[in-house]
Amino acid sequence: MITNDGNAILRELDVSHPAAKSMIELSRAQDEEVGDGTTSVIVLAGEMMQAAEAFVSQGGPARVSLHPTQIVAAYHAALEHALKVCNTVARPFDSNDDQQFRRVIRSCVGTKYTGRWGDLIVNMALEAVKKVATVADPKTGRLEIDTKRYVRVEKIPGGEEADCRVMAGIMLNKDVTHSKMRRRIENPRILLLDCTLEYKKGESQTSVEITKEDDWNKLLKLEEEYVQNICADIIRAKPDLVFTEKGISDLAQHYLQKAGITAIRRLRKTDNNRLARAVGATIVSRTDEIQESDIGTGCGLFEVVKIGDEYFCMIDQCKDPKACTVILRGGSKDILNEVERNFQDALQVARNIALDPRVLPGGGAVEMNIARSLSEYAKTVDGVEQWPLRNAAAAFEVIPRTLAENCGADVVRVMTALRATHAAAYAKGELSLVGIDGETGELLDMADPAKEEQSVWDPFVVKVHYIKTAIEAAAMLLRIDDILSGMSTGK
């Protein structure tokens, strides 16, 4: 696997140590909840564990031996303090400003493989989120953005990365059932079914005993009449396109083709649900219950396209699709998988900001503010608990330090300068939003309007979630006294 996505790498590891397993679980939880920050959560959790190790094994810097519960209590206090700092540093975000929106998503994609196509993935993520956003509560204006169910990613090998796009509709890896059916229809009337268009088999094992030849012919005629009636129900609704989740018999295909109706069979349930949202149709379970209101008329163009060796039917140019398909093209499967991972991260970041429009400065600026504030707070705490607090403050510096290492800067010099900048601002009672420029390794003020293009802003949800997850995981692992392994005796 070729990737720099933290969760994708950890998912492939085969570990047996229980503590290591729980660390990998952190990354998965972060990925499922907010989609980004999967590497940061592991780095911070590991650093928090290392900060606590000194007190557990040797008795700490002041030769103070602390019980894990005291360290955990200090860590929870540090977490509360860190979240307060995040709320103070957070800035409101105008989710209607597309330019600002793109800048935040680009900061998530910039370090990844797809960063070299600039705004392509960024624009696609923004477009997809806007397409599937629906107002869940009209009173409060709360949005619902279900990207997992309604944004489908289709990876097609071949073509160039520049051919990637977000459709205003749905694409299915299907062809028409009958060769003479129409393969291109403008403004089609679409009917969605989840029942079979073939003779209904007996529910349980059915055996029929026939003594006369006429009875056999009558039986066959009944079957034909049944299929004919089903097709007559469909033809009465005058659809141009019929999609069903089940099968379509040859006879039904014949009747539908004669009526000029194109039929496509064996759709997935999830695809049918997406289609219903995209074209404004209702899925019907019985053909005799079809009403005019069930027909979807929101699609602008249906056509069957051959890409490579396979046929795809496109339901495109929908008026107000609340579901969409993202087409990804690339040279090989490895590239496509990586592009998909990067796109999913960008999609989640766009979704997070749309749901909670607040941002925090990146480049380690928030972590340095937390470290500075925690160090000062530790001085006000009496007793031995101040030591774990100080160590927790130092642990937060791992993020800017790692950033400095990754871009080949002089780590000691950059970190010293960064600490001095934040200390000077803190002394004046101000907040410093200075972090590290991920490309040059130099200090960069994220709030400087002149350097708006280079500045990095992270979604509030991602930052807060990874801090919470990392500290709580470290606290959970610290509470473990011993590991018991259950051995089977072979009896």
- Active site (catalytic) residues: 5, 38-39, 345
Where are any strands of DSSP class E within 348-442?
A: 358-361, 434-436
| Residues in the chain, total | 491
Residue 281: burial class (beta carbons within 10 Å; 0-12, 13-18, 19+): buried
- The helix, strand and coil proportions of the chain, stated in percent and rounded to the nearest 5, come to 50, 15, 35
Handedness of CA 52, 53, 58, 62 (dihedral sign): negative
Q: How many CB atoms lie within 10 A of CB 460?
A: 23
What pairing do the DSSP bridges indicate for beta strands 283-284 and 190-193? Answer: parallel
Pull the structure tokens for residue 129.
């989120």
DSSP H helices, 396-459, are 398-406, 411-427
d(CA 222, CA 200): 11
d(CA 489, CA 491): 6
d(CA 92, CA 89): 10
d(CA 465, CA 460): 8
- Cα–Cα distance list, 358 to 55, 126, 284, 353 (Å): 37, 16, 42, 7
d(CA 181, CA 184): 9
How far out from the chain centre does Cα 364 lie?
A: 24
Handedness of CA 311, 317, 319, 322 (dihedral sign): positive
